[in-house]
Structure formats: structure tokens, C-alpha cells
Structure 1
Amino acid sequence: MNRHSGLLAAFALILASGQALAETYTVSVEPSYPPAQAEEVYRPLLDYLGKATGHHFVLSVPRNYHLLWRDIRANAEVHFAFEEAHLTDYRASRFGFQPLARTAETTSYALIAQPDVARRGVEGLVGYRVISMPSPSLGYALLGELYRNPVAQPDVQSAAASWRDGVEMIFSGEAEAAMVPSHIAQLYPNLEPVHRTRSFPGSAFSASPAVPEEVKQAVREALLRLHEDPELFDVLTELGASRFEPTDAAEYRGHERMLSGFFGYESR
């Protein structure tokens, strides 16, 4: 074998080794967008993680929240999850998922409406149409906390394809109010809050115990540096975040109780 052939063989061996070491990991996200839009929103983030870690990341988006909740309870195989506090805690406490990084901003929700409707207050919406993403989304759970009397309820509808769609349904006259994340409510100054919820730790990126420790660490480090990449500014803006910060399971402990009123939840 001449020197040129030897170099080519060595290069091929190195390339093959690199390909062999690269793994494919699934990332589950909440169905707060239609599948095609979710792919558009999260693709730059997954591509960034791929470049930063040398692995391949595939998005997993259930068609709706009911299917997501079914899959979570069954511990369907996913490697990473990006979810709000109640789901993050459930995966961590029941199945050993490890929260790696969270959005720097806390999560809260606002029940918003046109000014004349908002002035009626919370009780003034009883019997009227209120839009929310379905159970067990955090917004739906918080709406349930707000209306505990079973005979004094708004007409809660889950027809929106995304949180923003819920707002648009107010403008189109299809609903009187909508429960949405606060960072979305802030985009509509012509609507007023009927109620603002308490805050929760930000949405977290957590890892299955099946993921090797070195991969978890690489993903954590990549997320903590994500805000340094100007090409990902739009991703963070869409998520209502300025950056990711370190976190752990203790920060989310107890928040799974928000799921206690939903079908299939079993207390321990």
C-alpha cells in the first residue's frame, strides 16, 4: 500500500468511527403547535444540538395533549423532553428523568379578554366561551383551579391549534376569553388580563436515564450556550425565553400535583 492509499484508508477509518459514535436521540415536546409548525419552530434548536454534540436529534410531537399524557404515563421511549413544570416533575419523580436546563424566565399564564369583558372579572366569564389548549396542559390545569365550583363554569373549549390561535379566536368573535402563557399575552396590549396566575419554574429540557452521562452533559452545555448564537434568537423568542439556565429535579419537585385532577393520574 502506498502512502497516499494509507492516508485515504486512515481517513475512512476515522470517518467511520465518528459515524459509529453518533447516535440518534428523540426529543419530545408539548403539542402546543400543529406538527408542521412545531417542526419549523424546533428544527433550528435540534440542528444546533446536533452540531454542538455530534449526535442527531429527532423531534417527537404527539398529535394532541391527550396522546402526550398517555405516552408520558406509559413511559413511552423518548430520550429527551422539553416540557413545562408539571410534566417535567412527573417524568423526573416517576421515571428518573433528569432536568438539565430550563428557560431563564419563569412560566405563568394570563386569562385575557377584550376590555369590556375583562372588567366583568373571573365570575363574569361563567357560561361564556374560554379557549385553552387541552388537558393536561398547564394552562388548562390553572384554569381548572380558577373555576372550582362545578356548577359555575365557563364554556371551556380546546379548539385552538396553538396558544396564539386562542387569542385570534377572541378577535374573530369565537370566544370571549383565552388562557395563554404570559409572554404571549404581552404581545396583545389591546387585550386585558382577567386573571394572572402564579409563577412556575421555566420549561425544562430533561433527559431519560437511558441517555449516557456524557451526552447529557454535552446537551446541557450546548443549551447553556445557546443564547450566544444569534441565529437562534428567533427560537428563544418563540419560547418566551432569553436563555437557558442550569436546573435540577429539586426545583420542580411537587409540581406534578397540577396533574392530580386529570384522568390517569395516580398519587403515590
Structure 2
Amino acid sequence: MSQRIGMGQRLMGFCAAAVLLAAPAVAADYTFAVEPIYPPEKATEVYRPLVDYLAKATGERFTLVTPKNYHFYWRDMRQNQKVDFSLDEAHLADYRIARFKYLPLVRTAENQSYTLVTNVDLQDRGLEALVGTKIVCMGAPSLGYALLLGFYPNPIQQPDIESSAASWRDAVEAVFAGEAQAAMIPTWLKDQYPNLTPVKTSREFAGAAISASATVPEDVRSKVTQALLKLDQDPSLSNLLLELGTSKFVPANVTDYTGSETMLKDFYGYQ
């Protein structure tokens, strides 16, 4: 009797193992964080098509992470709060790469710069004419904010930097509404407003990067990369590319970003 019971238990074990082997694999759930250039609700609207596209193209699951603002984003990044994928401009991408071994997969094809714009007659006085006036920008440590600080290195000749804009487009609207004399915005966005006068344009950086944590399996990183390189072929995602100010994604390399993190040196918590 005990021999028959033992054989039965082994048979049940073999059956259970067969069921486990036959069961379909459950896709992992990967987090995808985006730099807070929009409020969370708007960010969800803008980037949801991206994570949906990746899920369809790769067979994996992605959870969109939309930080409240740059303060929280920078805090979480410094503390290495784990995210599997992230979309960051050059200085933050380099910080992840240098400090936490993130791997850049793709970047926006066009390089990124920022331009200080106004609709006020500065009478050819340039930057000096805006000392003491209100300039609207996204919060620190956005790349635009860091570059704007670099325009005014003299601590006693500073503009009044207002970092309350909810998006770069909101910064433009503040100028048109007379709430500020100038705005610091991406140069690609400046080109959409020919009635604004450029005061100064920054140097260029590599385009925003989509990076992956080294903990993401190589095959998943490869699938995501290939999907992103083909993203511009999907007409339904043209609005996403427009919001990112790019025509497509191209392969990214670590050397594209090396040294960009020094733009963060004047912000709290940088070491």
C-alpha cells in the first residue's frame, strides 16, 4: 500500500511540473519614468501611447511613472529609486549612466539646445536688459534652468527666475499674457513661435535619451531598442514625436552624454 501511495505522489509531482512547464510565461512589468516636463495628468496623456506601443511591440508590460515635479524627480534619482527605463535630457541621462550604470538605448535624433526668448523690445541690450525682470522657466534641475543660470553668472546681476511653468509651452504663454518678460524654452519649440525674439541660444547637447537599468534583461533591452528605432514608422505616434521635438529615435552611446552631468553641479544634492 505504501509503495502505491509513493508512486501516486510522484505521479502527481510529475503532473504538476508538466502543468508549470506548459503554462504560458507571464510578462514582467517594467517601470518607465519620464522627466517631468508636464504635470502628471498631461504626462500620462502624452506618454501613454509610447508605453502602449512598447507593450504591443515587445510583449512586455510597462507602467508609466509620471513624477509630480523636478524636485521629486531629482530627489528620487539621487537616491537611486529604481526605475527600469527612463526618458531624460542629457544631464540627467548622464547622471544615471555615470552613477547607477544605466545603459542608453536610443536618443532623439536632433541635438538639444535652449533659447531665451522675449516679445519685449530690448533695444539691442541683450541679456543685460533682462536683469531684474521676470523670466519663466521649468523648475530646477531641468536643463533649461541650468543653462539659464549659466547666462547670468554674476550673482548681483540676475533676473527674477520664475519656475512655476507647468510645461515649456506654458512658459511661452506666460510671455504672451504679459506675466513675464521672457522665457527659457527648447530651441525646437522657439522655432514654432516666429513672433518671439531670440535673445540667446545655449550650446547643444545630445538629444533626450531613453535608458535602461542594467537589471533589465538584455533580450528585453534589445526588443525595446528595436521597437523605438521603428517608432517613427507608426503614424499614430506622430503627436508624441512632435511633443518631444524630434523626427525619430536613433541609437545612443554612452559617449554622447559623457560630461553632461556637470550641468547639475550647482544644484542641491549633487556630489
TM-score by length of 2: 0.91
2:51 equivalent among 46, 51, 74: 46
TM-score by length of 1: 0.92
List alignment gaps of at least 5 residues for structure 2: 1-18
Question: What do residues 95-148 of structure 1 show as CA deviations (whole Å, max 9, x unaligned)?
Answer: 000000000011000100005147431111000000010110000000011000
Q: Please say if 1:65 is aligned against 2:70.
A: yes
1:144 equivalent among 132, 149, 155: 149
1:187 equivalent among 168, 186, 192: 192
Counterpart-to-counterpart distance in 2, 1:74 and 1:219: 25
Q: Secondary structure at the match of 1:17?
A: coil
Q: Please say if 1:113 is aligned against 2:118.
A: yes
Is the 8 Å Cα contact of residues 120 and 181 (structure 2) preserved in structure 1? no
Aligned length: 253
Name the counterpart of 2:249. 244
Q: Could you tell me how far 1:210 is from its partner in structure 2?
A: 1.0
Instruction: Please give the residue correspondences for 1:14-53 in structure 2 after superposition, counting only pairs within 5 Å.
Output: 16-18=23-25, 20=26, 22-53=27-58
Q: Could you tell me how far 1:86 is from its partner in structure 2?
A: 0.3
- RMSD, matched Cα: 1.5
Runs of 4+ in 1 over 3 A off after TM superposition: 12-16, 117-120
2:60 equivalent among 50, 55, 58: 55
2:212 equivalent among 189, 207, 220: 207
Is the 8 Å Cα contact of residues 118 and 196 (structure 2) preserved in structure 1? yes
Is the 8 Å Cα contact of residues 35 and 73 (structure 2) preserved in structure 1? yes
Counterpart-to-counterpart distance in 2, 1:136 and 1:52: 33
Instruction: Please give the residue correspondences for 1:83-98 in structure 2 after superposition, counting only pairs within 5 Å.
Output: 83-98=88-103
Choose 1 or 2 for highest CA Rg: 2
Shift in alpha-carbon separation, 1:15–1:103, aligned structure 2, 3 A: farther
Counterpart-to-counterpart distance in 2, 1:233 and 1:85: 23
Q: Could you tell me how far 1:198 is from its partner in structure 2?
A: 0.8
Question: What do residues 72-108 of structure 1 show as CA deviations (whole Å, max 9, x unaligned)?
Answer: 1000010001000000000000000000000001100
**What is the identity percentage for the equivalent residue pairs of Structure 1 and Structure 2?**
53
Name the counterpart of 1:4. none
List alignment gaps of at least 5 residues for structure 1: 1-11
Shift in alpha-carbon separation, 1:118–1:70, aligned structure 2, 3 A: farther
Instruction: Please give the residue correspondences for 1:116-131 in structure 2 after superposition, counting only pairs within 5 Å.
Output: 116-117=121-122, 119-131=124-136
Q: Could you tell me how far 1:218 is from its partner in structure 2?
A: 0.5
